[in-house]
Amino acid sequence: MSTSIEAGSVERPPSIQDLNNTKWTKPEYKLPIPSLQFLFHLECDMETFRHIGEGPYGDRSTVIFKGGRFEGPKLRGEILPGGGDWEIVRNHGDQQTAHLNTRYNLVTHDGATIYLQTTGTRTGSRSVLEKLGNDTSIDPDQFKMRLHLTMETGDERYNWINSGVFIASSGRNGDQVIYDAYELL
């Protein structure tokens, strides 16, 4: 996947005055440029995918998560077994897009339970994506998998995650989903 923006960089918005097809009421209102702070690295172990088939919303498959692990500067721990992904795959020519929808529980090293839900897409060449479960030599640069994470907990020590905005760069390698999560600041 090639992009005109270098990895890890943020494209600055143009001057509002350069966006001259619209009559702006507040062109002087300058918004901050966001940044990303590393949150954790995660490896999720999966069962075998179960293909449900073409239904009213698309070609659906599900997979149950066996467990896994995560660690970062502010939190670390294990993924509890029993979560899963309910994905819908759409083919468009030689390209494929999987619309991902996961839910699972994390347990931190100090006993807090965190509910994690992700939505996102995995997109790329159909010939590459259809091999992801079997061919562990596929490099994560051969497709794009990005996630939006929503987390919640009742544990006061981790209350900060309830109001955070989180994203991840992700990949699939055999029976694992692997990602680096970031907080959008």
DSSP letters, 131-176, are TTTT-TT--GGGEEEEEEEEEE-S-GGGGGGGG--EEEEEEEETTE
Q: Read off the pTM.
A: 0.91
Residue 58 lies inside a defined structural domain of this protein: yes
* Structure confidence by residue, pLDDT tens digits, 81-139: 999 999 999 999 999 999 999 999 999 999 999 999 999 999 999 999 999 888 889 99
Number of domains the chain contains: 1
Residue 13 lies inside a defined structural domain of this protein: no
Phi (first) and psi of residue 136, to 5 degrees: -80, 0
* Structure confidence by residue, pLDDT tens digits, 16-74: 888 989 999 998 898 999 999 999 999 999 999 999 999 999 999 999 999 999 999 99
Q: According to the model, what pLDDT value does residue 3 have?
A: 57
| Domain coverage including residue 86 | 33-184
* Structure confidence by residue, pLDDT tens digits, 118-130: 999 999 999 999 9
Q: Is the per-residue pLDDT at 180 higher than 60?
A: yes
Residue 24 lies inside a defined structural domain of this protein: no
What gap in Å lies between CA 76 and CA 107, rounded to an integer?
8
Q: What CATH number is associated with residue 73?
A: 2.40.160.20
What gap in Å lies between CA 36 and CA 180, rounded to an integer?
11
Residue 8 lies inside a defined structural domain of this protein: no
Residue 91 lies inside a defined structural domain of this protein: yes
